[in-house]
Amino acid sequence: MVEAIQFQQVVPILRIFDVQKADEFYLGFLGFAVDWDHRYDENAPLYRQISRNGLVLHLSEHHGDGSPGARLRVMMRGVREFHCEISEKGYRYMRPGLDTTEWGTLETVAIDPFGNMLSFCERIETEAKSSAS
């Protein structure tokens, strides 16, 4: 029997205050691409969709579209390679580490210029899990 209700995707809306700083961080540092931009007129706040390899985010200058300081956990594969890629870019405002957690993930964290924290996480086998099996 097929479940009638199926959730397809979550698209977080992250508040931004400066498009140039957002571009430097999300496009330059993290490697996202702009899918589309929307403004009601030339002087209106930006609402933008960016994506990279299946991860879709919305960035918004609109008051009320999220609060600065949001936290996202992005489950992925290839976090070690992603960490190496972003580390090589020499982004002036962020030097993320690579950490193994006690709950079995390898993680790197990047904080955007607006206080939003993105944790990029990959599940890994830990010694504790392996020895308990």
Q: Are 23 and 32 in contact (CB under 8 A)?
A: no
pLDDT score of 79: 98
Bridge-based pairing of strands 105-111 and 117-123 is antiparallel
Give domain 13-132's CATH number out of 1.10.230.10, 3.10.180.10, 3.40.50.720, 3.40.47.10.
3.10.180.10
In this prediction, what percent of the chain has a pLDDT beyond 90?
84
Domain boundaries, the chain: 13-132
pTM to 2 decimals?
Answer: 0.89
Indicate whether 133 pLDDT > 50: no
Residue-wise pLDDT for 44-75, tens only, equals 999 999 999 999 999 999 998 988 899 999 99
